[in-house]
A and B are shown apart, each in its own frame.
Chain A
Amino acid sequence: METEDDLCQSNWGRSSSKLGNQTFTRANQKWEDASILDYEMDMEPPSLQVFQQMKSSGQDNNNNNTQVNADFLQGVRAQAWDPRTMLSNLSFMEQKIHQLQDLVHLIVGGRNGELAAQQQQQELITTDLTSIIIQLISTAGSLLPSVKHNMSTAPGPLFTGQPGGSSSAMFPYPREANNVASQTQSIDLPKPQPPLAAALVADVEREEHEMKDEDDAEEGENLPPGSYEILQLEKEEILAPHTHFCTICGKGFKRDANLRMHMRGHGDEYKTPAALAKPNKESLPGSEPVLIKRYSCPFPGCKRNKEHKKFQPLKTILCVKNHYKRTHCDKSFTCSRCHTKKFSVIADLKTHEKHCGKNKWLCSCGTTFSRKDKLFGHIALFQGHTPAILVEDTKLSAVASTQRENANNNNNNSNSDAGMVGFDLGSASNLNQETALQQHSEFMEEKISFEESFSPLSFDTCNFGGFHEFPRPMFDDSETSFQMLISSACGFSPRNGGGTGGSVSNTSL
């Protein structure tokens, strides 16, 4: 594999080297899947990522390319030994033979083109031919009922060398080859794709949008081992920031759509509706049943790793990515609101941030709940847990009481000055500021004289702090807003200062 790597690097440089590598891996993989047919893929982990990348990079040039890849996958998926699979394999082979015919036709028809281009094209066609033939062989091999068990004993040495070597020789430009192949295919052979396959070979984009937590959702899925194929991506592939690369400048993208948009800048051929269209959309319904793909986590010992006794496969690549990041990576994203919650998947952080701070239902044990009934269920369940009252409530009353004291001091120490201050604060919302001011200053003196002469109590009922900003009882039906205005105009709040009874049933002035 190293040699292939080197080769690719020399051909495409840094950014695309990986792609090349993956392409070869893919070829390799095919062989393994098709022929080895046991689940110990120790020499090279299955790399569906590659397919996806391949697919997307192919889509840049031609969106039908996806179909080719899908075909590949179908061909590879010859594992189970039920008649349906046999049938599907046979039909697959039939298709491949058609493709082969088309390619040969192309070679025949392409003789009269420009020399350089012709030569290059021929090379590509040759590559495609090779790949199709390899697929045919592998599928045919899988048709042998006895092969599976025999081969599982000594799979590695028999097959690894050959495709690796041949691929390095035969796939110098794998993607171009694919492009050509798919182009031809799209022209000559609009190949039916079964709806099942369309559903399973899911569109990456859609997955990225919708399937955030799929790896949990599939928990209950009890596929019999062997009814699906297992692919395992490498850690680096999982953590790669970009999954779609421009074949021309090598720029990476997270989404295929973005890449397609990008590709427009590289020439008019990428601006055609066909080039811009979403891949996989035009897949026609067919009858071909497809083997389900499932993914394994590369982390040894993980339940999602295929070596695990109770292995539970992951459904999609996105699941793999999210699972790997969530379970085996550092949680590097911290919530900017609460500064406590950490996430390794940025989508999780965003989801959390949407609700962060809304978990206002708090238990005395410190647990927060987004729903009140959940909190009450929790409290009903546990002894000694009690609902925790929000801090604002107590803080507010504390503030109110301190302010009241301050106001009282004001009241005791100073004269109408304090009253004026209180008024200014209190009547900020008063429309009739002028008149109220007059009234207030008038009556302030009167009031003080009243207090001094009549009140038998130590009089601390009038405050000049302007407490109107504190919440007033909203339920006091009889209390009109007018009275509120007035009382606030006098800086005199019944709750904080005077303490009117709940049954104030009148209005003043």
Chain B
Amino acid sequence: MKKAKQIHISKPFDLLSEELVFIILDLIAHNNPSDLKSFSLTCKWFYQFEARHRNSLRPFRAEYLPRILSRYRNTADLDLTYCSRVTDYALSVVGCLCGPTLHSVDLSRSSSFSAAGLLRLAVKCVNLVEIDLTNATEMRDADAAAVAEARSLERLKLGRCKLVTDMGIGCIAVGCRKLKMVSLKWCVGVGDLGVALLAVKCKQIRSLDISYLPITGKCLHDILKLEHLEELILQGCFGVDDDSLKSLRHDCKSLKKLNASSCQNLTQRGLTSLLSGARCLQRLDLAHCSSVISLDFASSLSKVSALESIRLDGCSVTADGLKAIGTLCSSLKELSLSKCVSVTDEGLCSLVMKLKDLRKLDITCCRKLSGVSVIRIASSCPKLVSLKMESCSLVSREAFWLIGQKCRLLEELDLTDNEIDDEGLKSISSCLSLSSLKLGICLNITDKGLSYIGIGCSNLRELDLYRSVGITDIGISWIAQGCLTLETINISYCKDITDKSLLSLSRCSLLQTFESRGCPNITSQGLAAIAVLCKGLTKLDLKKCPHINDSGLLTLAHFSQSLKQINLSETAVSDVGLVSLANIGCMQSIAVVNSSGLSPSGVAAALLGCGGLRKAKLHASLRSLLPPSLIHHLEARGCAFLWKDNTLQAELDPKSWKLQLEDVVP
């Protein structure tokens, strides 16, 4: 920044070609995107340069689109996800001002536009390649017909467009012949005919998501004739059954990813015919499928021996089946057996023995597994990068010692709710590239263990210490010292945490998510320290921190301009603090339940002030106290309300069983 300024002062800037300046700007943007803003404010010349350089925009308010777009003439990617209300007028402004330069538009979180606006966009922006219309739940066939005017469209997302029918998809299929990626997830009005027509007309399709559509196997005959199809997602297509796939003969060599998860009527027979021609399949997702992964079932995988990834989440598996998978698909790199409660040590050991190349393994909630499995995993899969083993409670603490020794390449480790102790952490600390470590509900770990991590794992970006009650400020300070790139930390319900931890954590300037729910010793002072130094803070959970008050929020409102989500339930904030949050332009979600210092008018003012608010979680009593017209107004602006009444509804804690345990084991 400073350099650039100096160069400009000495007027050698004219000598630099535009390309060079753009390269400089690219580098600036790479470091910290907000620096570009400062750059543009330096002088008129910089301002213009920056305006010409920028080609992607994510405006906060659709109202300012005319001015923003006339400034940034080269906008190619327009992300309107922050603008909950994009009118037809706004879309026609986009169409007129961007014109052929626009390549992609994201309207996935926006509403209140109609066919007229889409038509204007499609006609004016002739080079529009990508449009995301997810969640346009009011979109109808007429709107889809308008989208079909975008002839050069290649990527289209229509998730949750529930009113669109085969007719609308038919229009798109005929109009947008260049489509390569289509997502129709949850478009429950679209059936076999529309999807089949899409496959017939758009021969370029590479990726097709038809999850949760009321389709049968019929349209798969046409889909699998697509020459370039690489990814097919059939999640939750209950209509796809064995009978409709019986006659399926295909030779879809291009298919690389197939997701047939939650297809409850698809059993081994149908799957065999589905996989028969997909010889080059690399990734297969069969999560929550209805049949047992037995020896027979695994035999249907014989055609796809090049498989690299398989997901069997929630399936009931047998030891024989796992063994067969290991024999048939020895090149597997990713394996997910999450929530497969029937996995035994025997099955998993025979599987992982064959998988020398395994990179990612998910055995979350495989409660029957013991230390034997973990030792086997550690010894036979040295290339393991990601290991998720939440709630494998039978695994002894000694087993973890081996993980760190053998799997030095680990980057992601989820040990939530395990028996790991400080020795285990010491072993893990030798995984130098570890970036995500989850130690929630690990009651055996203490500050000593964390100190190993802080010293060893300097690349740590995410640390979860939820309810790991043995942790105090000392442990956190070790982490804060060692892991300067920390972005996410969760110290919820670590009761011994005080402001000291927050002060030390404020050294981690890249911190984005900070969750300290239920830490009674945290005060506004600590919060202020984090707010001042961690500029990138986006998500903040301060629920049940009774000492957090307005002063903390005022600091926060001043410094944390990128804060999007905050939970202030059961804190000491009052109207002043809440209203000050309106100062944060990109605030999207506010939760304030049971904060006694709040008055309805204060809440109303805060809600009105936060123009981009999408979600407000408030106490149910406020519902009658706030004027209905205000609520309607906010809803119209795109804000959703969640009314909580804790007196009637006991808070649902998914880990409540653990709390009971906590009481038993001090």
Contact = CB atoms under 8 A, between A and B. Distances in A.
A462 B632 contact: yes
Nearest to B161: A502
B142 interface: yes
B483 to A, nearest CB: 35
A184 B648 CA distance: 97
B238 interface: no
A495 B138 contact: yes
B88 to A, nearest CB: 8
A502 B635 contact: no
A152 B130 CA distance: 81
B529 interface: no
A498 B136 CA distance: 15
B116 A379 contact: no
A507 B196 CA distance: 39
B137 A502 contact: yes
B627 interface: yes
A387 B167 contact: yes
Interface in B126-179: 135-138, 140-142, 144-145, 148, 160, 162-163, 166-168, 170-171, 174-175
A81 interface: no
B627 A397 contact: no
A84 interface: no
Interface stretch (A5-13, A24-32, A485-493): A485-493
Interface centre among A389, A444, A457, A458 (most CB of B within 10 A): A389
A417 interface: no
Q: How many residues of B sit at the interface, in one of the four size bands?
A: 35 or more
B142 A389 contact: yes
Contacts of A462: 629, 632-633, 636
A501 B166 contact: no
A394 B115 contact: yes
B326 interface: no
B474 interface: no
B608 A498 contact: no
A394 B114 CA distance: 10
A393 B137 contact: no
A508 B641 contact: yes
A476 interface: yes
Contact of A508 (B87, B140, B167, B623): B623
A500 B171 contact: no
Nearest to B113: A499
Contact of B168 (A389, A492, A502): A389
A379 B633 contact: no
A393 B137 CA distance: 15
B628 A376 contact: no
B662 interface: no
A494 B635 contact: yes
Given A393-B141, A502-B111, A502-B138, A508 B632 contact: yes
A446 B193 contact: no
A473 interface: yes
B630 interface: yes
Contact of B633 (A385, A401, A461): A461
A439 interface: yes
B63 interface: yes
Contacts of B168: 387, 389
A481 interface: no
Given A389-B145, A494-B635, A501 B84 contact: yes
A443 B628 contact: yes
Given A376-B166, A454-B609, A498-B112, A473 B637 contact: no
Contact of A380 (B144, B160, B201, B611): B201
Given A454-B605, A454-B609, A503-B135, A498 B637 contact: yes
Contacts of B206: none
Given A387-B174, A461-B637, 4 more contacts: A397-B142, A451-B633, A462-B633, A494-B636
27 contacts: A372-B193, A379-B174, A380-B201, A387-B166, A389-B145, A393-B141, A394-B142, A443-B628, A447-B627, A447-B632, A450-B633, A454-B605, A459-B633, A461-B85, A462-B629, A490-B629, A494-B636, A499-B85, A500-B636, A500-B638, A501-B110, A501-B614, A502-B111, A502-B136, A505-B641, A506-B642, A509-B631
Interface of A: 372-373, 376, 379-380, 384-387, 389-390, 393-394, 397, 400-401, 439, 443-444, 446-447, 450-451, 454-459, 461-462, 473, 475-476, 486-487, 490, 492, 494-495, 497-509
